[in-house]
Structure 1
């Protein structure tokens, strides 16, 4: 099924299909509304990092990376990216599409000069792509969460060297 999958940057024509993919994948609209809200925040939204998976011109998956900050003990901000949300239509799940979206997103993010990505996600899924518990770098979530599901990846060697602190997500995440 996944050999016909095309992974590309989202366009305006994809917005309604991306909303539908998120709605179907999560069974409600919160993540779909989050994507819409983040798109409207030019400070954090990076168009190249809103990526869709299509098959026969149908949008079957979507991943979004947005800018976040890691604030250290001195109050200094270090830019990173958040991977959230990622959604695949239920009938296309467990076919490798999510992995294709993650790999493409990490590749594009690295190409754009980003150093790292943070994800709150499944402890057995994201490590397959190189994510490790963020506590390795003394990076903390802004809320209580088990350390094994709050992860980070360096996109370049030492991308998180000498960076520690608390992640600050864009205000749009507070609506989810």
Structure 2
């Protein structure tokens, strides 16, 4: 398996991986069109067209010639401070449990840290994301965009972190759901 940046020819395969990963998932975003792909697949397209898109943080996992996973991080904010919002994180269903998601997470967090980012947030399963240093936002100075998310909204600080307080705000396209 190889982790690399997304290329223009990868877009349709990324959509397919994301749709497969979230199809039937308990907490998936609703399809934008009735009977269409899960909302996460469309969200990535919306993010690509948004000023919050950072190409360096759209990474894919490749096995041979097949794209088997994808992660994206886009510009977000904690109060007035810049942050990153991670997600969606997608792995083909038949590849889940094989370390693909973990490899993608390590890669995107390493890239963010190397670029001087300071704080990242995500919505996801605490038991999974705690292994990457994420903690519930309720234990930090960053507050969740939606208090109903509870411990599922998590924060991780990076090397250049300085105290940043305020409400976490994802890139605008997240608000379309």
2:151 pairs with 1:151: no
Q: Identify unmatched segments of 5+ residues in structure 2.
A: 24-36
Q: CA deviation at 1:135?
A: 2.0
What is the aligned length? Answer: 164
Work out whether 1:34 is the aligned partner of 2:37. no
Give the equivalent residue in structure 2 for 1:97.
Answer: 100
Report the TM-score, using the length of structure 2 for normalisation. 0.88
Instruction: Check the 8 A contact 1:141/1:166 in 2, yes or no.
Output: yes
List structure 1 runs of 4+ shifted beyond 3 angstroms.
none
Q: Distance in 2 between matches of 1:134 and 1:97?
A: 25
Name the structure where strand makes up a greater proportion of residues. 1
In the alignment, does 2:119 pair up with 1:116?
yes
| Counterpart contact for 2:22–2:38, Cα < 8 Å | yes
1:48 alignment partner, SS class:
helix
Q: Indicate if the aligned counterparts of 1:137 and 1:163 stay in contact, CA closer than 8 A.
A: no
2:134·2:156 contact (CA, 8 Å) conserved in 1?
yes
- The C-alpha deviation readout for 1:83-106, integer Å capped at 9, x for no partner, is 110000001101010000000000
Q: 1:47 aligns with which of 44, 55, 69?
A: 55
TM-score, scaled to structure 1: 0.89
In the alignment, is residue 84 of structure 1 matched against residue 87 of structure 2? Answer: yes
Q: Tell me, yes or no, if structure 1 residue 126 matches structure 2 residue 134.
A: no
RMSD over equivalenced CA pairs, Å:
1.2
Partner of 1:58: 66
Cα distance between partner residues in 2 of 1:145 and 1:126: 19
Does the CA-based 8 Å contact 1:21-1:59 persist in structure 2?
Answer: yes
Q: Distance in 1 between matches of 2:54 and 2:103?
A: 19
